[in-house]
Amino acid sequence: MEEQGRKGRRLLLFPLPLQGHINPMLQLANILHSKGFSITIILADNFNTSSNNIRANYPHFTFHTISDGISEDEKAKIDIDVLSLLSLFNEKCVPHFRKVLRELVLEDSNIVCLISDSILHFTKAVADRFKLPRLVLRTGGVCSLLIFAAIPLLRNKAYLPLQESRLEEAVEELPPLRIKDLPLFKTCNVDALYQVIEGMIRETKASSGLILNSFEQLEQFSMSKLRHDFPIPIFPIGPFHSHFPASSSSLMSQDQTSISWLDTRPPKSVIYISFGSVAAIEVNDFLEIAWGLANSNYPFLWVVRPGLICGSEWIELLPSEFLERVDGRGHIVKWAPQQQVLAHPAVGAFCTHNGWNSTLESICEGVPMICMPCFGDQMVNARYVSHVWKVGVQLENGLKRTNIENAIRMLMEEEEGKQIKERMLELKEKANLCLKPGGSSYESLRSLTSYISSF
Ligand code: UDP
């Protein structure tokens, strides 16, 4: 009955067009659609990505594509500096977003609110202009959101900018972080970085509400601090992807041989390795990972995304000795159906860059992690995985083959690894329970739907 009452009420959702942000926004769209809302997705057509895959997989949504307003010259910089691009996006997309919002609001009086990615802070002023309530989706963890909010303090206390000589020091105000766990971004434009973060925090605090892809039992302490520091309605309704069976919002085509190959492997024997959709690594690190995997003697499924290795097309730099050594034991793909991979019984451990989605997906499937963070919130997530939830181990001191081999052996064979796996199974159980009737995310979703219905 309640859901019937929402029929025709339409929500506008505006994701940041990067894979790790599109996935949770579309999962959220599915969740809210299942509660009776109609959904319109506004996609900024940028970064040379195609939205065709997404449109085909979500026939129940209406899509509008707008220009991001960024020139080809500026776009060419994405490979070297995603952060500068995000800053440009917040500046150049404004007229295009304003135009589509005006058209949509004029033609449909059933539009209830806008839900935009927290990084797209410019959407606040545009939504205000049309008197449209704006909720924010934070696609990352609460733990890292609080670190972003603390950047002025971290700068004041001289923790930032990072100093090579102090990396191991503890950040006393933010345990258990060390200086080297603070979000690190490789950008040639530090001012732009701070502006994007400052805008994100300011306009999130000024929003009508904050939706989180997280759950109370995972980030209890961070959540109470968040509620204190961000006095707006807060809805932790994650893990989003567990509300439904996997539905793909992948911008790249997923190599299904990943699954048929896993089918041939014994339970819990395979190491899965992926660095997500944005991170890039140096050739030397790539080769160290390769030899670490080879020397571990475990079977592995490795996602080597074209563009992952700086200065190389794909896997052409792998030496023939390596390929001979791992023949039949290793499977390398350009992009995998990751949720299905992590859910596969053959997977025993996940070497991950600790993007928030990958971290949550691993927790939901109970797969222990070997953390190899590269930049941004990944450093914070990795520290939480290894030192707060203790469901993984972080590779310290760089990507060296012996470290990688030892970490794999520890996780797969030793007592410490056994304890990590036990804690991971307990956390997986909590992730399951929070979505059941009476669970924290289940109840939070009820609050969210009635809150949105009240607009
Ligand atoms: N992903 C995937 N196939 C791959 C690698 C990653 O489908 O081969 C998905 C993964 O399941 C996750 C997203 O891409 O949902 C990556 O998001 P995450 O936050 O982990 O990292 P990011 O790409 O933003 O760095």
* pLDDT at 415 (0 to 100): 98
Question: Contact 371/391 with Cβ under 8 angstroms?
Answer: no
Count the helix, strand and coil residues of the chain and give each as a percent rounded to the nearest 5: 50, 15, 35
Q: What is the pLDDT of residue 50?
A: 62
Is the pLDDT at 79 greater than 60? The verdict is no
Calpha distance 210→118 (Å, rounded):
9
Q: Is the link from the previous residue into 183 a cis peptide, with omega within 30 of 0?
A: no
DSSP 423-450: HHHHHHHHHHHTTSTTSHHHHHHHHHHH
Mean pLDDT confidence for 257-267: 98
42-51, 177-186, 405-414: least confidently modelled range? 42-51
Distances (CA, A) of 19 to 23, 44, 50, 51, 208: 6, 13, 11, 11, 25
Q: Ligand 1 mean position to 361 CA, how many Å?
A: 9
Q: How confident is the model at residue 264 (pLDDT cuts 50, 70, 90)?
A: very high
Cβ atoms of 368 and 421 closer than 8 Å: yes
CA-closest residue to ligand 1 atom 1: 338
The residue whose CA is least distant from atom 6 of ligand 1 is 276
Report strand pairing: 300-303 vs 111-117.
unpaired
Is the model's pLDDT at 48 over the cut of 60?
Answer: no
Per-domain boundaries in the chain: 2-238+434-453, 257-432
- Both structure tokens of 267: 């339970």
373 prior amide bond cis, ω within 30: no
Q: Which atom of ligand 1 is nearest to the CA of 352?
A: 20
Q: Tokens for 427, please give them.
A: 């956390």
d(CA 44, CA 42): 7
Predicted confidence (pLDDT) per residue in 109-140, tens digit: 999 999 999 999 999 999 999 999 999 999 99
Alpha helices of 93-132 — where are they, by DSSP H?
94-107, 123-129
Centroid of ligand 1 to alpha carbon of 341 (angstroms): 12
Distance CA 87, CA 91 (A): 7
User: What one-letter code names the amino acid at 161?
Assistant: P
**pLDDT: is 282 or 252 the higher one?**
282
* d(CA 176, ligand 1 centre) in Å: 26
315 has a pLDDT exceeding 80: yes
Reported as a pLDDT band with limits 50, 70 and 90, residue 180 is: very high
pLDDT confidence tier of residue 409, bands split at 50, 70 and 90: very high
In short, whether 361's Cβ falls inside 6 Å of ligand 1 is yes
State which fold the 257-432 domain adopts.
Rossmann fold (3.40.50)
358 CB less than 6 Å from ligand 1?
yes
Phi, psi (rounded to 5 degrees) for 330: -120, 145
Looking at ligand 1, which residue's alpha carbon is closest to its atom 21? 355
Arithmetic mean of pLDDT over the chain = 93
The reply to whether ligand 1 has any atom less than 6 angstroms from the CB of 19 is yes
Size of the chain, expressed as the number of residues it contains? 455
* Residue 429 pLDDT exceeds 60: yes
Q: What is the average per-residue pLDDT within 100-109?
A: 96
Q: Of ligand 1's atoms, which has the minimum distance to the CA of residue 248?
A: 7
* pLDDT at 88 > cutoff 50: yes
Choose the residue to mutate in 19, 57, 374, 377 for probing ligand 1, maximizing ligand atoms within 8 Å of C-beta: 19
E-only strand ranges, 226-346: 234-236, 270-274, 300-303, 330-333
Would you state the pLDDT for residue 81?
74
For residue 371, the cross-strand partners are 352, 394
Find tokens 């000589």 and name the residue. 165
Ligand 1 pocket test, pick from 184, 308, 338, 385 with the greatest ligand atom count within 8 Å of Cβ, gives 338
Cα of 453 to ligand 1 centre, how many Å? 32
Does the pLDDT value for residue 417 go beyond 70? yes
Any ligand 1 atom below 6 A from CB of 301: no
pLDDT of res. 77: 65
Confidence of residue 72 (pLDDT cuts 50, 70, 90): confident
Share of the chain above pLDDT 90, in %: 84
2-238+434-453 and 257-432 in the same fold: yes
Give the CA angle between residues 177, 375, 53 to the nearest 5°: 130
- Which pLDDT belongs to residue 49? 55
Q: Which atom of ligand 1 is nearest to the CA of 378?
A: 25
User: What is the biggest distance separating any 2 CA atoms in the chain, rounded to whole angstroms?
Assistant: 65
Q: What are the Cα distances from residue 43, in Å, to 16, 63, 89, 130?
A: 8, 7, 13, 19
Bridge partners, 12 (sequence order): 40, 114
Task: For ligand 1, say whether the CB of 23 is within 6 Å of any of its atoms.
Answer: yes
| Domain at 2-238+434-453, CATH class | alpha beta
pLDDT digits (tens, 9 = 90+) for 185-206: 777 778 888 999 999 999 999 9
- The residue nearest atom 5 of ligand 1, judged by CA position, is 276
> In whole angstroms, what is the distance from residue 451 CA to residue 455 CA?
7
The answer to whether residue 47 scores a pLDDT higher than 60 is no
Query: How much distance in Å is there from the Cα of 163 to the middle of ligand 1?
Result: 30
Q: Which amino acid is at 39?
A: I
The answer, yes or no, to whether residue 13 has pLDDT greater than 50, is yes
